[in-house]
């Protein structure tokens, strides 16, 4: 989806944590990918990011769901890199380091009770998120539940020289 020419400020966007199911190249966050960037061409936040009703993805949004009201402590990211170091007798430092594992944990606490959060907690796909009032809404975990890969966009705002600088991290 092409980036719009103008966006909105971080305060006006109301965004902080956005989530969607990973769908390969259709949800590519990399530069030049299908999605590209959470920012408009003017450097502000895109106003077409979130799905605003409990329906599926449409041409008017980027297919991400808004996490809702968050703990005022915000979001914490905890990267973990495990390496295997090759030591030799002649050196106190490793002569080689091979990365064995890279992972990140993102922790956030939501203060709303809504079907989207139930689906995240129970590892259900986000292809359809029911409204609370529908008869198909059931917050429980299914008997067999395959792994659902997710993508997160974390948006925050920083101030430098009195000017707002929106920043985003995607995983």
Q: Is the pLDDT of residue 135 over 60?
A: yes
Do residues 119 and 126 lie in contact, with contact meaning Cβ atoms separated by under 8 Å?
A: yes
The backbone torsions φ and ψ at residue 51, rounded to the nearest 5 degrees and listed phi first, read -80, 130
pLDDT of residue 60: 63
Confidence of residue 55 (pLDDT cuts 50, 70, 90): low
Range among 7-16, 85-94, 128-137, 149-158 with highest mean pLDDT value: 85-94
Residue 125 CB partners (closer than 8 Å, separation 6+): 21, 119, 148
pLDDT of residue 54: 55
Q: Is the pLDDT of residue 99 over 60?
A: yes
Q: Where are the domains of the chain?
A: 10-170
Question: Count of CB atoms within 10 A of residue 31's CB?
Answer: 7
Question: For tokens 């808004």, what's the residue?
Answer: 66
Q: What is the mean pLDDT of residues 18-29?
A: 81
For 70-100, letters b (16+ CB in 10 Å) and e give eeeeebeeeeeeeeeeeeeeeeeeeeeeeee
Q: Is the pLDDT of residue 34 over 80?
A: no
Q: What is the mean pLDDT of residues 6-13?
A: 77
Range among 70-79, 86-95, 108-117, 118-127 with highest mean pLDDT value: 86-95
Confidence of residue 106 (pLDDT cuts 50, 70, 90): confident
Single pTM value for the model? 0.69
Confidence of residue 82 (pLDDT cuts 50, 70, 90): very high
DSSP E strands, 114-162: 150-160
Among candidate residues 5, 7, 2, the one with its CA nearest the CA of residue 168: 7
Q: What is the mean pLDDT of residues 79-83?
A: 89
The helix or strand, by DSSP H or E, that contains position 10, with its residue range, turns out to be helix 10-13
């Amino acid at each position: 989806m092409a980036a719009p020419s103008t966006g909105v400020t971080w305060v006006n966007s109301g965004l902080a944590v956005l989530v969607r199911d990973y769908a390969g190249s259709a949800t590519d966050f990399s530069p030049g990918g299908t999605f590209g960037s959470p920012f408009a061409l003017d450097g502000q936040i895109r106003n077409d990011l979130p799905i605003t009703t409990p329906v599926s993805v449409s041409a008017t949004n980027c297919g991400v769901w808004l996490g809702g009201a968050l703990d005022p402590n915000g979001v914490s990211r905890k990267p973990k890199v495990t390496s295997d170091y090759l030591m030799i007798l002649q050196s106190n430092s490793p002569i080689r380091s091979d990365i064995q594992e890279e992972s990140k944990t993102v922790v956030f606490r939501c203060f709303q009770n809504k079907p989207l959060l139930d689906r995240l907690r129970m590892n259900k796909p986000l292809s359809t998120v029911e409204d609370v009032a529908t008869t198909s809404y059931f917050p429980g975990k299914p008997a067999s539940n395959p792994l659902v890969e997710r993508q997160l966009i974390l948006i925050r705002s920083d101030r430098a020289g009195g000017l707002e600088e929106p920043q985003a991290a995607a995983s």
